[in-house]
């Protein structure tokens, strides 16, 4: 997978978070307060597929970036360290670089 295609999928995931937030706001302001939403399962499937492609099932960097860091929005310097070194994980490019270095390490 090339970076441009990877970036397109991550941007779609980021947009799903924005949509999820908007829908959650509607749910919170609904008269009954009830609103079913199965939306995140699509996000799970995309993340699982990308993890398979990048052999990230063990480290789960994509999962962490998308769900814990909300596609990098919640990243703070020092959140991620590998071998005692800070690893940036704020941008799609940062995630790409981390995944590429992990692939090289596994294949090397």
The pLDDT of residue 23: 75
What's the confidence (pLDDT) of residue 30? Answer: 62
Domain residues of the chain, as ranges?
A: 3-107
pLDDT at 106: 85
Burial level of 93, CB count in 10 A (0-12/13-18/19+)? middle
Give CA separation, 18 vs 2, 31, 37, in Å.
25, 22, 14
Instruction: Tell me the HSE value of 106 on the side-chain side, using a 13 A CA sphere.
Output: 12
Average confidence (pLDDT) per 10 residues, the chain, 108 residues: 92 86 70 58 87 95 96 95 95 97 88
């Amino acid at each position: 997978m090339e970076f441009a295609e990877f970036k397109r999928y991550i941007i779609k995931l980021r947009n799903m978070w924005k949509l999820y937030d908007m829908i959650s706001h509607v749910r919170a302001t609904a008269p009954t307060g009830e609103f079913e939403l199965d939306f995140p399962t699509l996000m799970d499937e995309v993340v699982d597929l990308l993890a398979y492609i990048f052999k990230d099932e063990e480290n789960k960097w994509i999962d962490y970036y998308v769900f814990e860091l909300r596609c990098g929005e919640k990243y703070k310097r020092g959140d991620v360290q590998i071998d005692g070194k800070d690893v940036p994980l704020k941008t799609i490019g940062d995630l790409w670089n981390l995944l590429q270095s992990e692939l090289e390490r596994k294949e090397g």
